[in-house]
Structure 1
Amino acid sequence: MRKLSNTNFYSLKDSEDIFLIHKENKNFIKYKEFVSDIVRSLEYISKYKEDTITVFIEDAYRFIAIITAGFILKKRVNVLNNNSPKYVESIIDNTMVYISDTENSALNLDEVFESKCNDKWFDVLKETIIDENVYVNFYTSGSTGYPKLIEKTLKQFEAEATKIVNQFTENIKDSLFLYTVPHYHSYGFVFAVLVPFMLETKCINNRINYLETVNNFADYEKITIVTTPAFLKRIDKSSLKIKSKWYLFSSTGMLEEKVNDLCKEIFSTDVTEIYGSTEAGAMAYRRRSENQLWTRLSVVKLKVDENGSIECCSGYTGENVWIHVGDVVNMKNGDEFELLGREDSIVKIEGKRISVQQIDRQILMDKRFKDSYTIYCKSDKREYIASFIVMNNKDRNSEDMKKYVIDYLKGYFETVVLPKKIYFVDSIPRSEIGKIDRKALDAIMEGN
Structure 2
Amino acid sequence: MNKPSMRLSTLFSTPLGEAALAAPLGVRQGCLVPAQALHARVAQWTQTLRLQQGTELALYLDDSLEFACALFGAWHAGKTVWLAADLTPATLAALAGRVSLFVVPESRELSQPVLTPADLPAPSAEHLPLQPLPLQHLGVVVFTSGSSGEPQPIPKTLQMLFQELDALEQLWGPTLGEADVLGMVSHQHIYGLLFRVLWPWAAGRRLHAERHAFAEALWAAVQAQGGKAVVVASPSQLRRLPPQLERLDVAAVFCSGGPLPPDALPACERAFGCAPVEVFGSSETGGIAWRQRKGVGPWAWQPLPDVQWRVSEHGQLQLRCAHMPEPQRWVECADSVRPLGAGFELLGRMDRVVKVEGKRVSAQRVEQSLMDGGHLEEVRVLVLDHGGREELAVVAVPTAEGWAHLEREGKRDFVARLQALVATSLERVTLPKRWRFESCLPSNSQGKCTQQALQHLFDPRRPGVRVRSRQTQSVELLLDIHPRLPQFQGHFDGHPIVPGVAQLDWAQRFAHEFLALQGRFAGADAVKFQQVIRPGSAVTLHLSWQAPLLSFSFQSAAGAHASGKLRYESPGV
- Separation of aligned partners in 1, 2:198 and 2:299: 28
**1:325 paired to 2:333:** yes
CA contact (8 A) 1:277 1:325 kept: no
Higher strand proportion: 2
Other-structure match for 2:134: 131
Q: CA 1:415 to 1:77, structure 2 compared with 1: closer, same or farther past 3 Å?
A: closer
Task: Read off the aligned partner of 2:437 and give its amino acid letter.
Answer: V
Most deviating of 51-60 and 423-432: 423-432
Query: 1:216: which partner in 2?
Result: 221
1: distance between equivalents of 2:13 and 2:312?
A: 45
Contact 1:12 1:31 in 2 (8 A): no
How far apart are residue 49 of structure 1 and its match?
A: 2.8
Q: Deviations over 1:205-252 (max 9, x none)?
A: 12111222223333634221111101112211312x354244111001
Change (3 A) 1:378 1:134: same
Does residue 389 in structure 1 map to residue 392 in structure 2?
no
Mark the CA change 1:46 to 1:382 in structure 2 (over 3 Å): closer, same or farther: closer
Aligned-pair Cα RMSD in Å: 3.2
Contact 1:341 1:355 in 2 (8 A): no
Query: Does structure 2 retain, via aligned residues, the 8 Å contact 1:279–1:323?
Result: no
- Pairing partner for 2:300 from 293, 300, 305: 293
1:67 to 71, 80, 86: 71
User: Superposed, which structure 2 residues align to 1:128-277 within 5 Å?
Assistant: 128-135=131-138, 136-143=140-147, 146-213=150-217, 214-218=219-223, 220-239=226-245, 241=246, 243-277=248-282
1:100 maps to which residue? 104
The higher radius of gyration belongs to 2
Aligned to 2:414: 401
Please tell me the residue identity of whatever aligns with 2:234: T
SS at match of 1:32: helix
Are positions 1:341 and 2:344 aligned together?
Answer: no
Residues 237-268 of structure 1 show CA distances to partners (whole Å, capped at 9, x for unaligned) of 312x3542441110010110011222122222
Aligned partner of 1:425 in structure 2 is 437
What amino acid does structure 1 have at the position aligned with 2:25?
A: F
User: CA separation of 1:60/1:216 partners in 2, compared to 1, >3 Å: closer, same or farther?
Assistant: closer
In structure 2, C-alpha distance between the alignment counterparts of 1:435 and 1:261, rounded to whole Å: 22
Give a deviation string over 1:136-159, Cα, whole Å, max 9, x none.
Answer: 221335235534211111111110
Q: Structure 2: 5+ residue runs without aligned partners?
A: 461-483, 485-573
Deviation at 1:367, TM superposition (A): 6.3
Matched to 1:159, the amino acid is Q
Is the Cα–Cα contact under 8 Å of residues 372 and 387 in structure 1 kept in the other structure?
Answer: yes
User: Per-residue deviation at 1:422?
Assistant: 4.8
Whole-angstrom CA distance in 2 between matches of 1:303 and 1:378: 38
The CA distance in 1 between the partners of 2:374 and 2:364, in whole Å, is: 17
Q: 1:362 deviation in Å?
A: 5.5
Distance in structure 1 (CA, Å) of the matches to 2:175 and 2:122: 41
Give the Å deviation of 1:360. 3.4
Distance 1:96 1:321 in 2: 33
Residue 434 of structure 1 deviates from its aligned partner by: 2.8
1:428 to partner: Cα distance: 3.0
Partner SS state of residue 317, structure 2: strand
> Which moved further from structure 2: 172-181 or 144-153?
144-153
Query: Alignment partner for residue 122 of structure 2, among 94, 116, 129?
Result: 116
Question: What do residues 399-418 of structure 1 show as CA deviations (whole Å, max 9, x unaligned)?
Answer: 121122234567xx746599
How far did residue 382 of structure 1 move? Answer: 9.9
Distance in 1 separating the partners of 2:280 and 2:145: 18
Rounded to whole Å, the distance in 2 between the matches of 1:13 and 1:47 is 29
382 and 75 in structure 1: CA distance in 2 versus 1, 3 angstrom threshold: closer
Whole-angstrom CA distance in 2 between matches of 1:34 and 1:371: 44
1:39 equivalent in structure 2: 43
Q: Distance in 1 between matches of 2:187 and 2:115?
A: 20
Instruction: Please list, as runs of the form range in 1=range in 2, the aligned pairs for 1:356-371 lying within 5 A after superposition.
Output: 356-361=363-368, 363-364=370-371, 368-371=375-378
- Return the alpha-carbon distance in structure 1 between the equivalents of residues 254 and 310 of structure 2: 25
Of 54, 58, 76, which aligns to 2:80? 76
Task: Report sequence identity in percent.
Answer: 20
How far residue 82 of structure 1 moved from its aligned partner, in angstroms, is 1.9
What is the aligned partner in structure 1 of residue 553 from structure 2? none
TM (norm. structure 1) is 0.86
Counterpart Cα distance in 1 of 2:94 and 2:316: 32
Q: C-alpha separation between the residues in 2 aligned to 1:94 and 1:222?
A: 42
> Taking structure 1 as reference, are residues 321 and 35 closer, same or farther at Cα in structure 2, changes over 3 Å only?
same
CA contact (8 A) 1:71 1:130 kept: yes
Q: From the superposition, tell whether residues 352 and 270 of structure 1 become closer, same or farther in structure 2 (CA, over 3 Å).
A: farther
Query: Relative CO higher for 1 or 2, CA cutoff 8 Å, sep ≥ 6?
Result: 1
TM-score where L is the length of structure 2: 0.69
Deviates more, 1:185-194 or 1:376-385: 376-385
What do residues 343-401 of structure 1 show as CA deviations (whole Å, max 9, x unaligned)?
23357999999853354355456664343212367999998854221334364510121
Pair 349,287 (structure 1): closer, same or farther in 2 beyond 3 Å = farther
- Indicate if the aligned counterparts of 2:85 and 2:91 stay in contact, CA closer than 8 A: no
Task: Give the aligned partner of residue 55 of structure 1.
Answer: 59
Of 302-311 and 131-140, deviating more is 302-311
Distance 1:54 1:370, change over 3 A: same
CA distance in 1, matches of 2:357, 2:149: 28
Determine the structure 2 residue equivalent to 1:304. Answer: 311
Compare 414-423 and 375-384 and name the one that shifted more. Answer: 375-384
Asked whether the 8 Å contact 1:356–1:376 carries over to 2, the reply is: no
Partner Cα distance (1:381, 1:243) in 2? 53
Aligned to 2:94: 90
